[in-house]
Amino acid sequence: MSAYDIVSAGLSAWKGSIGSFVRDLDRRSIRYLAFSQVSSLEFCRYRYFLEYSKKIRPRPEPDYFVKGNIFHRTVARFYRGQARKRPVSLDVLHRSVDRHRRGDGHELKNAVTLSVQNAHVGWEIVGVEKAFVLSLGKDLPPCLGVIDLILRQGSQYAVVDHKTGKNFNAPDALQITLYRELVRQKHEAECCTAFFDEYRWVNNLTRIRKPAFQRTEVSDSPSAWDDAKDRITKCHREMMSIEQRGDADGGGPCYMCPYQNQCPKASRGYSRY
């Protein structure tokens, strides 16, 4: 069996979370790729080494990791309720945030409120937090990922990725390209629209001077998939080199890195946010 067949069959039979599935692949030394690996490597090779070669978790866990995970779980609950024709009220979603955030969830609840107010309507909900495995061709390991939201209107599909943070950033279109290709392969979709839904952390929605929500439609191009595979192939070669050397160069913007307190190569000359 090919690596793709092994991972695909394993994911189809898996009853746990995608995180536990990935840890199982790691224990069995089954190779896979992910957008997060590419992003980590391009940010800083030594960050990739710590995160994916040494399997070191950042300590302390950055608060934006925690908040982002709570937001994604809460919004997924909202869309699953919509898909089942059993809507979950905003009050219930806010109480869910309170249970996870222990009384310090103003920014999270505001983001959840905006997600409900700006929900995608008029679409059939095909998948919520949908784990997938995608073939990248015979020369690369399969790609694993999770799509926040898959939608359909007749023969037209859409994929949505949620982003959270202090500010709006420029999301990486590679992530959306992978999602689009998955929908094309799995659903034989000729047309797949894509959106980045971004939420900015704010304490009071009535006192903001700039928007706290932004929806960006991501355009497609005939060369997007080939360009994506070229980029991933280049990164995969560097990943293999790092594995063989058992080391990597530093050089990323250390003040933005969650490993800055654990990294022996981190620069101490930068101020922190």
Question: Which pLDDT belongs to residue 267?
Answer: 78
Least Cα distance to 264 among 46, 55, 52, 41 occurs for 46
Does residue 194 contact residue 224 with C-beta atoms inside 8 Å? no
- Residue 68 is assigned to a structural domain of this protein: yes
User: Which domain does 230 fall in, by range?
Assistant: 3-9+16-256
- Residue 25 is assigned to a structural domain of this protein: yes
- Residue 263 is assigned to a structural domain of this protein: no
Whole-model pTM?
0.92
The DSSP call for residue 204 is -
- Residue 268 is assigned to a structural domain of this protein: no
- Residue 265 is assigned to a structural domain of this protein: no
CATH at residue 77: 3.90.320.10
Residue with tokens 């199982």: 24
- Residue 135 is assigned to a structural domain of this protein: yes
Q: How many domains does the chain have?
A: 1
- pLDDT digit of tens for each residue in the chain (273 aa)? 789 999 999 999 999 999 999 999 999 999 999 999 999 999 999 999 999 999 999 998 999 999 999 999 999 999 999 999 999 999 999 999 999 887 678 999 999 999 999 999 999 999 999 999 999 998 999 999 999 999 999 999 999 999 999 999 989 999 999 999 999 999 999 889 999 999 999 999 999 999 999 999 999 999 999 999 999 999 999 999 999 999 999 888 999 999 999 999 887 554 443
Q: Where do runs of H (alpha helix) occur along 29-172?
A: 35-43, 45-48, 63-83, 90-101, 106-117
- Residue 270 is assigned to a structural domain of this protein: no
- Residue 189 is assigned to a structural domain of this protein: yes
